Amino acid sequence: MAKIFLWIEDRKGKASYMFWESLMKQLCPEVIVESKKNNSELVKSVKALRDTENKYIIVFDNSFDNLQVLMEQKRLMKYVNEKKNIFLLDIICFEYILLEFEELIEWIYASEDVFLEKRAGVIAARNKLVEAFKEDNFNYKRIREIVEYNKRIDEHNIEQLSARLLFDLTRNTGFEVSKGTLGECWIKSCCEWEERQENDICGLDNNRLSVFEKMKKIYVGSSLKLQFSRVGLEVVA
């Protein structure tokens, strides 16, 4: 039987790798996740692939306003189009997947959490970014709430903005995400957070979910559902 591989550009141990590994383990357990260390090595691996029997799903961060990424992406598309068993997921980055997840705010904050007020500006910036992209408006650097959140927005690309927004939304919670950290609350069942304190209450405190249920909800409540369908990935019911 042919195997299915998911090739990603992030190293093992990084937050992105942990996310994809957990997601595949829960929803598509037959998929083998492999790191190619960075986007250049990922492109080289696709170019060098000679296997025609197995299926390869490629996760290449589409940082559409990063010139270096665009150049690598152009090369990647050439090699993908030359092969019939390679398929590309069209996503910005894993941080944006979590940002666009429709239950994000409801998960990380309890209904009367002080962070809802303290981080109102971050929440507004996230909401406007997701709203803009749903409407195919990619001119996000001119959106007032985003400019107010990041005064130096012109110095950053969409991947950097997504990572910063997600970190600022999740820091000091069990859902904290940075480049090297993926909070346990994303990849473990409720509530298995080893460092949880008595006052650490999130939006899932009264509706606890298994890790499978979490991954399934993220899949359904983000662009992953459409992307998986496009590349023929079947999700466990």
Distance CA(34)–CA(60), nearest Å, equals 13
User: SS3 letters for 17-75?
Assistant: HHHHHHHHHHHCCCEEEEECCCHHHHHHHHHHCCCCCCEEEEECCCCCCCHHHHHHHHH
User: In this structure, what token pair is assigned to residue 60?
Assistant: 């290449």
Of 6, 223, 210, 213, which is closest to residue 94 (Cα–Cα)? 223
* pLDDT computed for residue 159 by the predictor: 97
The predicted-structure confidence for 51-89, as pLDDT tens digits, reads as follows 999 999 999 999 999 999 999 999 999 999 999 999 999
Of 19, 187, 34, which is closest to residue 93 (Cα–Cα)? 19
* pLDDT computed for residue 194 by the predictor: 85
**What is the CATH number assigned to the segment(s) 4-92+217-231?**
3.40.50
User: In this structure, what token pair is assigned to residue 76?
Assistant: 């990647």
Where exactly are the structural domains of the chain? Answer: 4-92+217-231, 95-209
* pLDDT computed for residue 155 by the predictor: 96
Strand partners, 176: none
Strand partners, 182: 177
pLDDT beneath 50, residues of the chain: none
* pLDDT computed for residue 114 by the predictor: 95
Whole-model pTM?
0.95
* pLDDT computed for residue 215 by the predictor: 98
